[in-house]
Amino acid sequence: MDLGIKGKTALILGASQGLGAAIAAKLAEEGANLVLVARNGEALERSAKELSAAHGITATGISVDLSDAEAVAAFAAQIRSEIKPDMLVANAGGPPPSPAIGVEQEVWQRSAQLLLFSIIQVTEAAVEGMREKGWGRVLAIGSSGVIQPIPNLAVSNTIRGAVAGFCKTLAAEVAGDGVTVNMILPGKIDTARVGQLDTARAGREGKTVEQVRTEIAASLPIKRYGAPSEFASVAAFLLSQPAGYVTGQMTRVDGGMIRSI
């Protein structure tokens, strides 16, 4: 299937590794130009060089700390004046694991800045140009915890619910301008983030990481973790031309992990 995004520009947040990097690779294969964002500028530059050499696209890296409100305000201005993306992948690093009670105010605030306020500000800036062009795609990376809160991930469960509310509201506001807004919910996709959570759980439960991973895989209907490229294929479709009639949706990429309909 031709995804119809050759020559379009994708702005991908959290693109230095994991899910964001996998989406960048998939969109590059489809001929999209890339603007990659994270804190690790060296990793972004390296991946921008590799992807542009391999696929004949334009790719650049911009180092932005999305937990820094001032930096994000400056970045939003740059999105409006220079980047003007056709596609936005709204993504950032996950918050630390913890129960709902006892989280320090500073952690709530920093996590909300990173995963909610910055995402709103960047999305608003990106959507402005999309509406003018009459075409655009916003895809926010959430978590299965939006639907089925994950024990000991209280901050993530809480803040991602707010992102879901923002996306659904925005989707209705911009649908008539050719802009779709969707959320994609990973379950257990094998990235560094999931590795860190597994390691933390192994420490809490006095098990080896391998034991924890075997138990988790066995608990999933599909009996294995997902590959980042499997996740990225679904993301690429939701960002594509043929997905133009899909908006305001949450798509689960979780191997059947969420048990509800």
Ligand X SMILES: NC(=O)c1ccc[n+]([C@@H]2O[C@H](COP(=O)([O-])OP(=O)(O)OC[C@H]3O[C@@H](n4cnc5c(N)ncnc54)[C@H](OP(=O)(O)O)[C@@H]3O)[C@@H](O)[C@H]2O)c1
**Contacting positions for ligand X (CB under 6 A):** 14-20, 38-40, 64-67, 91-94, 114, 141, 143, 186, 188-189, 191-194
**Smallest gap, in angstroms, from Cβ of residue 176 to ligand X?**
29
CB nearer to ligand X: give 93 or 136. 93
**Smallest gap, in angstroms, from Cβ of residue 131 to ligand X?**
25
Query: Can you point out the beta strands (E) in the chain?
Result: 9-13, 33-38, 59-63, 87-90, 136-141, 179-186, 250-253
CB nearer to ligand X: give 93 or 129. 93
Question: Quick check: 86 and 9 in contact, CB under 8 A?
Answer: yes
Q: At what angle do helices 118-133 and 69-78 cross, to 10 degrees?
A: 10
Tokens 């936005």 belong to 88
Number of helices (H), then strands (E), in the chain:
9, 7
CB nearer to ligand X: give 7 or 99. 99
Question: Quick check: 90 and 141 in contact, CB under 8 A?
Answer: yes
User: Which class for 231: exposed (0-12), middle (13-18), buried (19 or more C-beta within 10 A)?
Assistant: buried
Integer Rg of the chain from CA: 18
CB nearer to ligand X: give 136 or 228. 228
**Smallest gap, in angstroms, from Cβ of residue 163 to ligand X?**
10
The DSSP letter of residue 80 is I
CA dist 30 → 3, 12, 33, 51, 250 (Å):
7, 15, 9, 11, 23
**Smallest gap, in angstroms, from Cβ of residue 2 to ligand X?**
27
User: Of 20, 21, 22, 24, whose CA–CA distance to 10 is shortest?
Assistant: 24
**Smallest gap, in angstroms, from Cβ of residue 14 to ligand X?**
3
CB nearer to ligand X: give 148 or 211. 148
CB nearer to ligand X: give 180 or 191. 191
**Smallest gap, in angstroms, from Cβ of residue 122 to ligand X?**
10
**Smallest gap, in angstroms, from Cβ of residue 128 to ligand X?**
21
Both tokens of 176, joined, read 């008539």
CB nearer to ligand X: give 67 or 158. 67
